[in-house]
Chain A
Amino acid sequence: DAKTTQPPSMDCAEGRAANLPCNHSTISGNEYVYWYRQIHSQGPQYIIHGLKNNETNEMASLIITEDRKSSTLILPHATLRDTAVYYCIVRVAGGTSYGKLTFGQGTILTVHP
């Protein structure tokens, strides 16, 4: 699976949009981009995933660049409860390692009042 690069930390004001970047320059054509977050002392929570089209759900939007080498997770109106570690993961949708998510260090997002 392709490696990802994320900033170690970011801050955001409550009510504003949080834009979390992720670089995955070695991504291959059959690899999806997944985002998870982990609030302190809880298990990771799935947020969203996509292959090449932008995606939106009730939690967030995922913007993938046309060359697929980077993506941005957007939390449109951040709240204090969005303070968490956000992980960007790239993985193949099939094959022999389809059970495995490779978590990096993630981005610690702190939402301030």
Chain B
Amino acid sequence: DTGVSQDPRHKITKRGQNVTFRCDPISEHNRLYWYRQTLGQGPEFLTYFQNEAQLEKSRLLSDRFSAERPKGSFSTLEIQRTEQGDSAMYLCASSLRHNYGYTFGSGTRLTVV
């Protein structure tokens, strides 16, 4: 068990470009979550998967954001046509059951210039 892995750790992109982040959860965890955290704020929920099914999406997840979890294993979060307001830390977490504690990854820090 190596924990939740996120790749890349840092990403700098120009406004208007597309970016994709990857999350590898703990192998036996069937629940996977994406959060976003801006400077000085607590993390904000984006979306939730149980196995391959995306069961919940926040209103924060605009049409430019899409998340997938093919085969219920790793997950990707894509942001199309990035904007400066997308600059944030994107956190992935996984859990075995919904009432257990979540294990978070170290996040991907996105900077849009």
Q: Choose among B50, B56, B58, B99 the residue that contacts A96 (Cβ–Cβ < 8 A).
A: B56
A106 CA / B48 CA spacing, docked (Å)? 23
**Interface residue range, chain B:** 20 to 34
Cβ-based interface call for B45 (8 A): yes
Q: Do B103 and A100 have beta carbons less than 8 Å apart?
A: no
Residues of the A chain whose Cβ atoms lie less than 8 Å from the Cβ of B98: 93-94, 98-99
* A-contacting 9-mer, from B11-19, B61-69, B71-79, B104-112: B104-112
A104 CA / B44 CA spacing, docked (Å)? 9
Q: Choose among A36, A87, A103 the residue that contacts B44 (Cβ–Cβ < 8 A).
A: A103
Residues of the A chain whose Cβ atoms lie less than 8 Å from the Cβ of B50: 99
Residues of the A chain whose Cβ atoms lie less than 8 Å from the Cβ of B31: 99
Q: Do A49 and B101 have beta carbons less than 8 Å apart?
A: yes
Q: Choose among B33, B45, B101 the residue that contacts A102 (Cβ–Cβ < 8 A).
A: B45
Known A-B contacts A43-B93, A43-B106, A93-B98; A99 and B56 likewise in contact (beta carbons under 8 Å): yes
Apart from the given pairs A43-B91, A87-B42, A93-B98, 20 other A-B contacts in the complex at a CB distance below 8 Å: A32-B99, A36-B102, A43-B104, A43-B106, A44-B91, A44-B104, A46-B102, A48-B101, A94-B98, A94-B99, A96-B56, A98-B98, A99-B47, A99-B56, A99-B98, A100-B48, A101-B35, A101-B43, A101-B102, A104-B42
15 A/B residue pairs, CB under 8 Å, sorted by A: A43-B107, A44-B93, A44-B104, A93-B99, A94-B98, A96-B56, A98-B98, A98-B99, A99-B55, A100-B48, A101-B33, A101-B35, A102-B45, A103-B43, A105-B41
Instruction: Pick the 9 closest A-B CB pairs, nearest first.
Output: A99-B48, A103-B42, A46-B101, A43-B104, A93-B99, A98-B98, A100-B45, A99-B56, A44-B104
